[in-house]
Each structure stands twice: as C-alpha cells, then as structure tokens.
Amino acid sequence: MGAADRTTGQARLYDALTTKGTAFTQRERLELGLLGLLPIAEKTIEQQVAHCWQEFSTRRNDLDKHIYLRALQDRNETLFYRVLSEHIAEAMPIIYTPTVGEACQRFSEIYRRPRGLFVAYPDREHLREVLRNRPQQDIDVIVVTDGQRILGLGDQGIGGMGIPIGKLSLYTLIGGIDPARTLPIVLDVGTDNAQCLEDPQYLGWRHRRIGDEEYHAFVDDFVSAVRAEMPDVLLQWEDFATAHALPILEKYRDQLLTFNDDIQGTAAVALGALYGATKVAGRPLAEQQVVMLGAGSAGMGVLDMISRQMQAQGLSEQNALDRIWVVDIDGLLTADRTDLSENQRRYAKTVDWKLAGPAQLADVVHNVDVGVLLGLSTAAGAFTEPIVRELAGKTERPIIFPLSNPTSKAEARPGELDEWTDGRALVATGSPFAPVVRDGVEHRVAQCNNVYIFPAIGLAVTASKATRVTDEMMRVAARTLGEASPALADPAEPLLPRWEDVPAIADRIAVAVAVQAVADGVAPARTKEELAELVRATRWSPSY
C-alpha cells in the first residue's frame, strides 16, 4: 500500500465526521491503511459509549463535562451524538442551558479547536470568501448570533459562538439534521463588555460594537452573501439584542428561509405548554387574563403568538390585546408612555388605579383577574410570595411560567411556587430545575426549552424543501407540542414531554409543520404520507 493510500487512511481516521476510532474493524484497518495506527482491540460503538460516559461522569463540574463533550465532538461526531442520544436528560443541561452560559463567558479561555465560521467586521470586504471557507459545502441549517444578548448574561462578544454550536448540536440530537450539514456562525462586530475588552485571552475583535448604520449594512452584506452561497439554507437568528432582533426578522423573513428562535421558537414552546396548562385549568386561553413581565423581543414574540391563538379561539384582535398585560422595568406598558416600540404600544393600557407612581407587577396582579403569569425579564425573584399568593387566590389552577435563562435569572423557583400555591400552580420554567417534592412524591418540572420546537422546524423545512417559515407553521408546531402534553392524560404530570420522548415528538411536529408549509404555498405540493416519509428519510442517526 502506497504513501498516498496511508494518507487517505489517516485523513479518514482523524476526520471527526467519518472516523470510527477503535471501532474500525480489522478489515477496514487493512483496506484504509490504518494498520498500526490504532490499538489492536476492536470496540463496538456501545462499548465506546460506555467508556465515554464513564469518562464524562468523572469530570469535576458541569463546565468540565461541557469541555469533555465538546472535545469528543471534535474528534468523533458520530460517537458524540450516540452518547447524547443515550443520555439525553443528563446531557441536555451540559451541552446547552444552563452550562452553555458559563461556556460562553469563558469561551476564549476554554477554546481548543475551531468550529464554524467567525465572520468579523474587519473582514467585511471578503464575506463571500469567508463563507466559501466553510468546512463542508452542503449546508442545511445555519445558526448565527452576534453575541450581544446571550441568554440572560448580556454581551459576550465572540463568546456567543457557544450558542450556535450548542443549538446545532440539538438540531442533530433532536431533529436528526446531519451534523455535516450544519454551520455555526458568530458575527464579530465588537463588544461593549469591558471585561472581554480587557481580557488578554479574548479572541474576538477588540473593539467597541459598531454603530447601527454600520451594523445593519454589515448584516445586509452577510445575508446577501448567504443567499448567494447557500440560497436554500435555513438561517436561524439567535440571541440578538431586542433593538436588532425584530427589525432583522421583519426585514429578511420574506427574502429567505429564516426565523428567530428567541422570538418565534420561544413563543411556540410557551404556547405549547400553555395548551396543556389551560386544558388542565379548565379555562381556555381566550378566557384568561395574561400578564407578562418583560417586554423584550422574546416576551413580545410570546405575546404576539398568544394573541393570535386567542383570535383563533374566537376573539377579535382588540379583545385579545385587551386580555394581555405587559410590565417592564419601568412598570406597566401604558398609553401615555413615550418609550414604547410600535409593537409594544399595541399592548399599552389606560388604567386609573389611583397609584402614587407607575403600576408595577404587584399592582396588575391586584387589579386584574389574572390567571396566567409569564416572565421573560431576567429579573431573578421578581415573582415574589405576596404576588404569587394573591394570584393563587384568584384562580383554582394558576398558570405561572418563570421563563428567564439561565437558572440564576429565573423569576421564581418551582419549589417556591409549589409552596405558595399549595401545589395548585401549573408551572413551566425556562431553565432546568430539580423535581419538586410534595408529600414525599417527586414531580418533574416542565422546562420551556426551545429544543421542543426548533429542531423539528429544521427537520420539517429540510425534508419538505420549504422556502419560508410562516407564522402558521410555528403555531402548528406549538399546537402539536401541546397535544403531546403528559398533563392532558394525568394532571399530576408535567406540562411538557420527557426529554427521552422529544426526538419522536419532533418527527410528529415536523410532519405537521411540513403539511402546513405545503398549505401555505411555501413548499412543493405533497401528501401528508409523502411528507412523513421524507421526514423519516431526512433524519440522520448516530451509527457507524
């Protein structure tokens, strides 16, 4: 066997997408020029998984576990996803929230090997070249961030790259998107995080964030380059600041296959959880008074979808808006405020409650027949005991969703909500929490994690060849998720399915979304049975 053949064998061995490591058989080692490059023992993938999980379990803390899994991904993608698929519940909080938050904060410190594309403003004249340098040419899904609003942690600059990497891991783990056809991207437009700028290890462009005019021109050039290089790709926007997120979505949603997970994905999973909660509460969403603490892009996205669902249940648009109350850092959104965006102003109220100052959350709960309390404010502990107890006095089954990420930013802890409502609250959180123990029985807490939705969207549009992501496609995803709520069969069960069940549920959501894409005229006409077969055929599985 010649030197060229041996080089080919080594390339196969060290390519994370094609390697089998110690699972290469003796015949494969002989055929591929791998003899002597591996210990002689042959392992099955099951043995490799057991070995990796033992290694994982010895790591000291969650960040060390995160680093271990990322290193595993860098050397063997198939094994990485096989390990995750056999330990979904344990691995989810390590590869994504909440551990990914710390990984973003320490991205430059723990950086080992490049993954994805770093699209830096100083390279703005070469964006097509940057995209052409992507490791794999055929891409189905891009997740892009500019690092400005990472979870509830704020501006992390280039460290935000941890989010697209983590999200795309979930696209593959849950949605079955081929990892070779995913691409994480960070737009490095500087950072206003002084800690990053002063950190000698910081790997990003050491510069304050560029101004809005330059920023929007850069984003426009980036989108143009993506359309030219990968016209059919799904481009997901992730963790952009409120001031940029909605304008970017509105500008580009009709130009290419794109959505914003913070706005649309968060809304869909929250609505899915509300579907089960309102069924258990015995009071339809259209008959509820809903209060949201937080008026950022994610919060407003949730409320917009709730409003559309109320209208689907028979309310006029104005009647739906009248049932939704929004409180931000300055208090209730009211008609006399001059600091509201056009979308926020739709929810503004005129009240005369004889207060000394602007109405706050406690005032709204006191004066309104609230049945649903949602939080996307990153204001830790904002759902206080007096507020929760007053809410619980207004309805038999109060629905309370503290949705802020990470765990440290949650508006309340599930155990507190359970105690303050005597176990009557229907709870879903944004971050993972330990089960609530009531009367000696553990009750799992539903986590409104966007992973219930976005991987299924990716699978749906990839399988159906959709060209756009419509509002109705997202609402169908929410409804299909809601129909899978364990609480519908047993009110003592959580509002959302177990992680182990999510890949199968993602297939159901993907088929429903694909059917809606055809109905909306954004995908080629096919029957539901044909779309179901395409979804099955598209799903990648981690096996050699």
> pLDDT tens for residues 295-322?
998 999 999 999 999 999 999 999 999 9
* Domain shared by 209 and 75, yes or no: no
Q: How far is C-alpha 236 from the chain's CA centre?
A: 10
Please indicate, yes or no, if residue 364 is contained in any of the structural domains. Answer: yes
Q: What is the mean pLDDT of residues 415-425?
A: 97
* Domain shared by 345 and 395, yes or no: yes
Helix (H, G, I), strand (E, B) or coil at 528: helix
Radius of gyration of the chain (CA): 24
Please indicate, yes or no, if residue 94 is contained in any of the structural domains. Answer: no
* Domain shared by 388 and 315, yes or no: yes
- Dist CA 339 CA 407 (whole Å): 29
Q: Where are the beta strands (DSSP E) in 329-444?
A: 331-332, 372-375, 399-402, 426-429, 436-438, 441-443
Instruction: Give the per-residue pLDDT at 372.
Output: 98
Confidence check: pLDDT of 4 > 50: no
* Domain shared by 219 and 77, yes or no: no
Please indicate, yes or no, if residue 342 is contained in any of the structural domains. Answer: yes
Which one of 256, 273, 301 terminates a domain?
256
Strand pairing class (399-402; 324-328): unpaired
Tally of residues, the chain: 544
Closest CA to 473 of 508, 518, 504, 506: 518
Please indicate, yes or no, if residue 16 is contained in any of the structural domains. Answer: yes
> pLDDT tens for residues 429-445?
998 899 999 999 999 99
* Domain shared by 270 and 389, yes or no: yes
φ and ψ of 275, to 5 deg: -55, -50
> pLDDT tens for residues 224-257?
999 999 999 999 999 999 899 999 999 999 999 9
Query: Token digits for 132?
Result: 């052409």
- Dist CA 28 CA 135 (whole Å): 25
Instruction: Give the per-residue pLDDT at 1.
Output: 40
> Considering the chain, what percentage of its residues have pLDDT values greater than 70?
99
* Domain shared by 204 and 317, yes or no: no
Hey, what amino acid is at 527?
Answer: T
Query: Token digits for 173?
Result: 């783990």
Residue/partner pairs of 210-215 with CB below 8 Å, 24 or more apart:
210/121, 214/121, 215/189, 215/244
**Number of separate domains in the chain:** 4
pLDDT-based confidence at residue 151 (cuts at 50, 70, 90): confident
Please indicate, yes or no, if residue 544 is contained in any of the structural domains. Answer: no
CATH code of residue 21? 1.20.1370.30
Paired strand residues for 326: 292
Helix (H, G, I), strand (E, B) or coil at 12: helix
pLDDT-based confidence at residue 6 (cuts at 50, 70, 90): very low
The owner of tokens 């649903």 is: 372
> pLDDT tens for residues 21-70?
999 999 999 999 999 999 999 999 999 999 999 999 999 999 999 999 99
End-to-end Cα separation, the chain, in angstroms:
25
pLDDT-based confidence at residue 2 (cuts at 50, 70, 90): very low
Instruction: Give the per-residue pLDDT at 45.
Output: 98
Which one of 448, 476, 510 terminates a domain?
448
* Domain shared by 475 and 502, yes or no: yes
* Domain shared by 219 and 104, yes or no: yes
Which one of 88, 108, 143 terminates a domain?
88
Confidence check: pLDDT of 5 > 80: no
* Domain shared by 180 and 316, yes or no: no
- Dist CA 544 CA 538 (whole Å): 17
Ramachandran assignment for 443, one of left (phi > 0), alpha (psi -120 to 50 degrees), beta (any other): beta
Strand pairing class (117-120; 182-188): parallel
φ and ψ of 77, to 5 deg: -65, -40
Q: Which residues are catalytic?
A: 96, 167
**pTM of the predicted model as reported, rounded to 2 decimal places:** 0.92
The owner of tokens 């994480």 is: 184
Range of 434's domain? 264-448
CATH code of residue 136? 3.40.50.10380
Instruction: Give the per-residue pLDDT at 3.
Output: 38
Please indicate, yes or no, if residue 168 is contained in any of the structural domains. Answer: yes
The owner of tokens 């179901």 is: 532
Query: Token digits for 446?
Result: 């539903």
pLDDT-based confidence at residue 152 (cuts at 50, 70, 90): confident
Please indicate, yes or no, if residue 143 is contained in any of the structural domains. Answer: yes
* Domain shared by 271 and 361, yes or no: yes
* Domain shared by 52 and 188, yes or no: no
Please indicate, yes or no, if residue 93 is contained in any of the structural domains. Answer: no
Instruction: Give the per-residue pLDDT at 419.
Output: 97
* Domain shared by 398 and 528, yes or no: no
